[in-house]
Amino acid sequence: MPASTVTPEEAFYNRRRFLRKLGLGLAGSALLPQGLAGATAGFPAKLNPKFDGAGLKSTDFDYVTSYNNFYEFSTDKGEVKKLANEGWETEPWSIQIGGLVENPFKIDVNGLIKKVGGVEERIYRFRCVEAWSMVVPWDGFPLKKLIELAQPDKNARYIKFTTFLDPKSAPGQRGRNIDWPYVESLTIEEANNDLAILATGVYGKPLPNQNGAPIRLVVPWKYGFKSIKSIVKIEFTRNRPRNTWQLLAPQEYGFYANVNPEVDHPRWSQASERIIGGGFFARQPTLPFNGYEKEVAHLYKGLNLRLHY
């Protein structure tokens, strides 16, 4: 889609923000509960029966939205919710798609949701590299749909995702311990897998800021850090982009980061996981590819997953 068609929408949102800054548009924003100001299009979303999380018990909304790794705000998971809701604006939000594609474009998130035909609900396991896990009902759309819109050329082999950069609103980004902004990447094959989605909501509500509003990646067979939050840019590349955690600690975090109970982290075992919200002792064995072996194992045929962790 040509960039010109999205301009009116952006202008519309910019005007809304301008009005809000003047204190005129407050009525609308005041209706949204704290932290729920992300992409608002596509609700209510219907559950996709193929990904209904049969047999899984969703983690309470409170835990999902109060226990967040989002180093842009704080390394303390309990502080993120507060800090991500102190003036960080996630609306309007536009996202830029480019690199090795036939059709580069920039689009407002709500416009993008309409363009891909709305969102659906999917219940996924979520396994953090820190050996804890949740079950999250996400609302989103297949990443594949965005790839179709962009039409990558035949040289594109990887997709690089970039998070927002705004040290004024994100106190964690004022520290120099990490080379901001956060970046992540997938192979095109991974990105085209049915399981990979761009999420814009949880529990039928727009993504709270602390969960990566207004749009984030969710790749449930990989450790959580691959599921990059608050995306502003998606680029198709020929060479493999390095991801933030790999740059920070290559001996601990790799490119693939597939959930794998057999490969320990240097400081802890990945064989089992603590279940968030289950008290002191709730624990379960970790499954290969986080339980999505059937769906994704073929992507890694012949790859030594011990070396390519």
Give the binding site for another protein (CB under 8 A). Answer: 60, 62-63, 66-67, 71, 75, 77-78, 81, 130, 132, 175, 177-178, 248-249, 264, 266-269, 271-272, 274, 276-277, 279-281, 283
Nearest to 147 by CA among 182, 193, 90, 78: 193
Q: How far apart are CA 73 and CA 209, in angstroms?
A: 11
Return the structure tokens found at 295: 């769906």
Name the β-bridge partners of 140: 120, 199
Residue 251 C-beta: closest distance to another protein, Å: 12
Residue 212 C-beta: closest distance to another protein, Å: 17
Q: With respect to another protein, which residue has the nearer C-beta, 110 or 260?
A: 260
Name the β-bridge partners of 185: 160
Residue 205 C-beta: closest distance to another protein, Å: 16
Q: With respect to another protein, which residue has the nearer C-beta, 78 or 250?
A: 78
Burial class (CB in 10 A: 0-12, 13-18, 19+), 26: exposed
Q: With respect to another protein, which residue has the nearer C-beta, 18 or 268?
A: 268
Backbone phi, then psi, for 121, in 5-degree steps? -95, 140
Q: How much of the chain is in helix, strand and coil states, percent to nearest 5? A: 25, 25, 50
Q: With respect to another protein, which residue has the nearer C-beta, 2 or 280?
A: 280
Residue 127 C-beta: closest distance to another protein, Å: 13
Angle of CA points 117, 119, 123, to nearest 5°:
150
Q: With respect to another protein, which residue has the nearer C-beta, 56 or 178?
A: 178
Residue 121 C-beta: closest distance to another protein, Å: 22
